[in-house]
Amino acid sequence: MAEVQLRRHLALVGLMGSGKTTVGRKLAARLERPFIDADEALAVTTGRTVRQWFDDSGEVAFRAREVDVLAQLLASDDPSVIATGGGIVCTEAGRALLNGPDVTVVWLRASPAFVANRVAQKANKDHRPLLDADPRVVLDRHAAERNHLYAEVADLVVDVDPVHRDVEKPKKKLAEMVFEAFSQIDAEKAARNRAQLARATADAPATAPGSQP
């Protein structure tokens, strides 16, 4: 019988500095779920920081490992909130996971100008080697190359810039906005998964107790 997960993970995607980790933590608390930062999970699982991966094995190897880690996280039956690395959409395998049945994807859409300003105030040493170059140039390029890919995997898009401009506690507000919308989307998707499970059960050949399969 087809394996169909009824409760799904929530994954946040978006450019570096869009707030995936901070908003994700708040969201996880609100949903009473575990929070997992995928970059941290990768560092713990492999014993190497993101920078070490880039320095020692190169970006292509890092991207493959990043996909493996996301696959492991999504395979868990315990629904979680996952902050993905900004480049997870760069590989077809990463996008396939995010388009799969086990996850609802939220894109925190932010302008490169906004995130460049934010990342400039942060220590990016161990997990953002790509920002050794001029962050604004890098993030302009990432937005141009990736925004259509984030859009491709997203079930929900939340614009980050206006919330930061207009609201006193923007992270809290963003988490609240995602919580409201996610609850709705998740209920609809869970209903679809249940229907799929019911169809798979009906299609499965009946086996009487004690009979040969």
Rg (CA), the chain: 19
Dmax over Cα atoms in the chain, in whole Å?
Answer: 68
- Out of 86, 94, 112, 135, the residue judged to bind ligand S3P by CB under 6 A: 86
Residue among 31, 115, 37 nearest 73 (CA) = 37
Rounded CA gap, 167 and 178, in Å? 15
26 touching ligand S3P, by CB under 6 A: no
- Out of 28, 31, 39, 153, the residue judged to bind ligand S3P by CB under 6 A: 39
Segment contacting ligand S3P by CB under 6 A, of 1-9, 23-31, 79-87, 190-198: 79-87
- Out of 82, 110, 130, 149, the residue judged to bind ligand S3P by CB under 6 A: 130
Tell me whether residue 111 or residue 193 sits nearer to ligand S3P (CB atom): 111
- SS3 sequence, 137-162? HHHHHHHHHHHHHHHHHCCEEEEHHH
Show the CA angle centred on residue 48, arms to residues 46 and 52, nearest 5°. Answer: 140
User: Rounded to the nearest whole angstrom, what is the least distance from the CB of residue 44 to ligand S3P in the complex?
Assistant: 14
Site for ligand S3P in 41-70 (CB under 6 A): 50
Query: Which residues would be at the binding site for ligand S3P (CB under 6 A)?
Result: 16, 20, 39, 50, 85-87, 127-130, 142
